[in-house]
Amino acid sequence: MITLSGTVEGIIYRNEENGYTVFVFSTDDGFETVTGAFPLLREGDFITVCGDYVEHDTYGTQFKAVSYEIAVPQTPEEIEAYLASGIIKGIGPKVARDIVDEFGASALRIIEKEPERLCRIRGIGKAKAQQIGESFGQLVGAQRTVMFLQKFGVTPNLALKIFSFYGEHTIETLQTNPYLMVEDIDGIGFLTADKIASGMGLAQDSQFRICAGVHHCLKEAGNEGHTFLPEEVLCQRAAVLLGTEVQRVRDSLLTLASKQQVVIREVKNDRAVYHPQFFYAEALIAGDLLLLQHSIETEPEKDIDHEIDSFEASKHIVLAQKQRCAVLQAINNGICIITGGPGTGKTTTLDCILNLFRRRGIEIALAAPTGRAAKRMADATGEDAKTIHRLLEYTKTENGFIFKRNKENPLECGVCIVDEASMIDIFLMHALLEGLKKGTRLILVGDADQLPSVGAGNVLADMIASGVFPVVALTEIFRQAAESTIVTNAHRIHKGEMPIVNRPGGDFFLDRKNSEPLIAQTVVDLCLRRLPDTYGIDPLRDIQVLTPIKKGVCGVFHLNKLLQEALNPKANGKKEYVSGENVFRCGDKVMQIRNNYERPWTMFEGKGVLLSGCGMFNGDCGVIDAIDQEARRITVQFEDGRICIYEFAEAEELVLAYALSVHKSQGCEFPFVVMPLPLGGMRIMTRNLFYTAVTRASKMVVLCGNERTVASMVQNTETQKRYSALDVRLKMGRTLL
């Protein structure tokens, strides 16, 4: 690591959003071009930087800084130049000169500690003096925070984010309890806070540390789909994380519960430990669902059968008995759940339900958890369908992001129909219920046999298991759907039967391969040559590789590299961005991998109307449209038309999407699905995962592997246990508060 000291002579480039700066640096040995994150830097600053020299393909030798320190001006001349730079709001060159003439070398101390004395300067009144003092205090506080936290590996931008939350008391707050950041600051996890705490000498057995460790384990459990952990499971996990005894964690739980930092309840003959936000979300959902279920005050309608007959006549169809039952339950109940696999007539049933509600003049809202699922719903019904976030008008405010539709401002609809309901986690379900007024009917449609939500909870399955709400399971496969081997095989897999493969002219194939390198090679060949040449399709738009695993030869990461090199190889003139092991190129298929409610987007709609909004969500897919090396930005156009710009530093939110995990494909539909089947019969390769993957395809499924692996997945009925208690709360008819 090299250290340089000198003066900032000129700033060549500055990204105000992330602080990335390129500037000319004057040292005793000459001039250098320095790059790095310098959010507070100004021309004329005397600084010390630490880093190394690097070679840039375009700009040659540069000094890449990883940390820096700003020297405080000492002499009257230095202070005047510093104040005249415009760094402090309310001070220009003339006022700077007057302040230094009056206070000399003490000017900065006066501004920080005794700003009222600035009133001695002509043109500075009491209000302006206070403004100058506050501006300087903010600047000094921010600089001190950046300097303080960079010792612990915290980036300048993250340090400024921390300072904006805690203000002038940032350093004192962190020195007392750095683990507060885990709860308060988005982007600060337990491991980062623990590193800072260790650097400051905080004791390993600190109650602050144990509390943060427990919260970390509960949030990680939420990422695994759990709303709580049994006490023993939690204590074991936390003890390993903290490097302490299980009993030490167990003893701390009572203290944490007394301070309402965790919630402990008896659930299913076990002591369940909740993070408070998970507990209250689950409890409030139960209460809202029960209220909604009983808010329909009208008597069951008696003439619905005649209306269904009329609908059948108009469509020249005959509904199956269970389809008619689903329509009746939807009309006569506050909440109704309709489930069914592919080809069982969910769309037709929904069409009939919509027809009957329209006859009654009832306003209907259609929604789904993801943009892809909402588009599929709109295409199937011919009606406008929105994501749940868009339906609830997710909006940025001065105090953060909120759903504008809530208990105080509910949706005006009389019926809300949500498709792909198995994907809804507890927090999204809570937001949805908050936005529905009393008397609104809620109809949940989905496939109960698919994988559960990526987020915490098991909402649809728990609602079904509770027995509180009417549930209609559509099971009859209709003739047209039965002609598809995809549909037939999906139901065979669900019943534990081997799929039918390789029928001439069929749509479900097994390309038999007995080694994983050969399986991976075959996947690439199918996407690059065989399927496009045979069927005249676009490999990016029409083919999706779905794999059960993330790592290994047939995992997401390795397959994406192979597919990128085959479908979008490096070429002269094709711009790319390299970040560690990740390479992004113009034309790459990518996916957003985390919910970012603040991410801005634009899109053109209708007759060139420009729309804008915020929020990109886990699973959104698109193609890289442009890479701007100078501005250090990546532009992505998503499948629904939204255009989003990512700074290079934000590219961690994106991954290549030539291959996706089966979990990431939920709620999606692809014309052609290619699925590698790694050898070895891993526990995670389950029947419902196989079923979910197969049901993502609309035109063709191609498996790459062998019959033994297929048989192993069909027979593996294990599912990852999710700790949740929504079903218990619903059965009891109360929220356990």
Dihedral pair phi/psi, residue 97, rounded to 5°: -65, -40
* Residue 249 φ then ψ, to 5°: -70, -45
User: Could you write out the three-class secondary structure of 514-576?
Assistant: CCHHHHHHHHHHHHHHHHHHHHCCCHHHHEEEEECCCCCCCCHHHHHHHHHHHHCCCCCCCCE
Q: Which helix or strand (DSSP H or E) is residue 107 part of?
A: helix 107-113
Q: Residue 613: its pLDDT value, please?
A: 80
Is 367 buried (19+), middle (13-18) or exposed (0-12) by CB count in 10 A? Answer: buried
The percent of residues in the chain predicted with pLDDT above 90, rounded, is 45
The pLDDT value recorded for residue 352 is 95
Sequence letter at residue 308: I
pLDDT at position 443 is 97
Check residue 581 and give its pLDDT. Answer: 76
CA distance 689 to 687: 5
- HSE-up of 413 (CA within 13 Å, CB side)? 22
Structure tokens, 565: 């090199």
Phi, psi torsion values for 646, nearest 5 degrees: -115, 130
Tokens read off for 652: 């961690």
Structure tokens at 316: 């020249």
Residue 474's pLDDT is: 92
Please identify which residue in the block is written with the tokens 């994380």.
241
Task: Please name which of 703, 705, 618 lies closest in space to residue 657, comparing C-alpha atoms.
Answer: 618
CA dist 625 and 638 (Å) reads 10
pLDDT for res 662: 92
The C-alpha atoms of residue 553 and residue 517 are separated, in whole angstroms, by 6
Helix (H) or strand (E) holding 136: helix 126-150
pLDDT at 18: 61
**Ranges of residues in the chain whose predicted pLDDT is under 50:** 734-737
CA angle at 244 for the pair 239 and 249, rounded to the nearest 5°: 55
Contacts 24+ apart (CB under 8 A), 184-193: 185/158, 185/161, 187/158, 187/161, 188/158, 188/162, 189/216, 190/215, 190/216, 190/241, 192/153, 192/154
| CB-neighbour burial class of residue 281 (10 A; exposed 0-12, middle 13-18, buried 19+) | buried
pLDDT of residue 736: 44
Instruction: Report the distance separating Cα 468 and Cα 464, nearest Å.
Output: 8
Share of the chain above pLDDT 70, in %: 97
Structure token pair of residue 593: 């991998």
Q: How many CA atoms lie within 13 A of 183 on its CB side?
A: 18
C-alpha triplet 593, 595, 600: angle, nearest 5°: 105
CA angle 447, 665, 641 (to 5 degrees): 110
DSSP assignment of 236-297 equals: HHHHHHHTS-HHHHHHHHHHHHHTTSSEEEEETTEEEEE-HHHHHHHHHHHHHHHHHHT---
H/E element holding 329?
helix 321-332
